[in-house]
Structure 1
Amino acid sequence: MILSAAALLGEYGTSATSIDRVLAHSGAPRGSVYHHFPGGRTQLIDEAVALAGDFVTGLLDAAVRADDPVDAIDAFFVLWRDRITESDFRAGCPIVAVAVESNDDAPQLARSAAAVFARWQEILTALFVRHGLTEQRSRRLGSFIIAAVEGAVIMCRAEQSTAPIEAAAAEIHGLLLHTLNDRPQSQP
């Protein structure tokens, strides 16, 4: 049910991710929702955000272990481009879906989304610090990359084209090459 909720969030958004839709997608019996999610729909969505956040965190962790930070970020853009095309431009980010909708009855959902974005930013910050950038520059760059990926995914869905993510990937690639090549080299 959590996997189904995460997939549905990315595809349809928070308000359209109902218990009925999750049950239909997952094939789970109705009674299992209230057994496993006593907090109801809000708990289910919150756990789907955590799961989706953990999944992308794992992908980012694997990517940033690469020796080349530019290759790592390129791979992250390719992953999203492939995900978008394989879903026929229906897949989106469940974290964005929760972040952009007002959830006045469940403000913890926005906090959960913010925590996921912060975790991703920390991973990218650590990557760039490890490759010689300052903490402040690394943090800004990490935030910018997340914003670029997420914005490009949204644009790809709207345009039914990979052009936005390919353009964002190319610009980030060039920016990273320039930034990492221009960093001060440590003296022996």
Structure 2
Amino acid sequence: MSPRKSDSRERMVLSAAALLREYGATGTSIDRVLAHSGAPRGSVYHHFPGGRAQLIDEAVAFAGDLIAGLIDAAAQADDPVGAVDTFFALWREQLVASDFRAGCPIVAVAVETNDEAPHLSRSAGVVFARWQEALAVMLTRHGLPEERGRRLASFIIASVEGAVVMCRAEQSPAALESAAAEIHDLLIHALRSPPDTALRQ
């Protein structure tokens, strides 16, 4: 649901999440969030007494929840390979729509040192773990041993995130398309293998 026009707090969180995708944590300043959201300056410390670090932390949580929701929805389908294909396709769509300017807000926070707010990296780690868990549950529900499911879930997230970074650098969707094709073939093989074979792989 879209935020109400009067809800400056919600607008600021949404804006911070969007700005993180393009500018990272360091570049997502209070001034930039205010300009993007149209929120009044006086609302900053009213809504976020912890300042910029709190705002970014909440933006990370929001973005994490949003993508986790997409994964959870896809995971309800009977076709896990198609669900992962859709996950890759969503990232490709976002990259192309932003002319390769917007990446993953969670990666943007995770790769920065954030000395003044070290908890932000931990927050990013929590989000990645949540995404992996959602994928692992889907894969094990479709017959993979739990350990293999967790490994593949981690590999899928790492492949998506690494490919998104490459796509932004290369200004091309090629890396994401290649990763999607390889993951597609890998999942078909893994899910069709007998359980004892999958366990040894």
Aligned to 2:161: 150
Correspondence list, 1:108-187, <5 A:
108-184=119-195
Structure 1 runs of 4+ with >2 Å offset: none
- Percent of pairs with identical residues: 72
The answer to whether the Cα contact below 8 Å between 2:25 and 2:112 also exists between their aligned partners in 1 is yes
The alpha-carbon deviation at position 91 of structure 1 amounts to: 1.1
1:103 equivalent among 108, 114, 117: 114
The alpha-carbon deviation at position 183 of structure 1 amounts to: 3.0
Aligned to 2:199: none
Q: In structure 1, give the amino acid aligned to 2:177.
A: E
Q: Distance in 2 between matches of 1:77 and 1:178?
A: 18
The alpha-carbon deviation at position 107 of structure 1 amounts to: 1.1
Superimposed CA distance per residue, residues 88-110 of structure 1 (whole angstroms, 9 cap, x where no aligned partner): 11111110000000011111101
The answer to whether the Cα contact below 8 Å between 2:145 and 2:195 also exists between their aligned partners in 1 is no
Alignment gaps of 5+ in structure 1: none
Q: Distance in 2 between matches of 1:183 and 1:55?
A: 34
Correspondence list, 1:30-109, <5 A:
30-109=41-120
Q: Distance in 2 between matches of 1:12 and 1:152?
A: 18
Q: In structure 2, give the amino acid aligned to 1:100.
A: V
Superimposed CA distance per residue, residues 8-64 of structure 1 (whole angstroms, 9 cap, x where no aligned partner): 001111100000000011111111111100000000000000000000000000111
1:24 equivalent among 18, 32, 35: 35
TM-score scaled by length of structure 1? 0.97
Q: Distance in 2 between matches of 1:146 and 1:26?
A: 30
Superimposed CA distance per residue, residues 134-166 of structure 1 (whole angstroms, 9 cap, x where no aligned partner): 111011000000000001111110000000100
Q: Distance in 1 between matches of 2:194 and 2:39?
A: 53
Q: Distance in 2 between matches of 1:63 and 1:51?
A: 19
Question: For the aligned residues, what is the CA RMSD?
Answer: 0.9
Q: Distance in 1 between matches of 2:177 and 2:195?
A: 30
Q: In structure 2, give the amino acid aligned to 1:3.
A: L
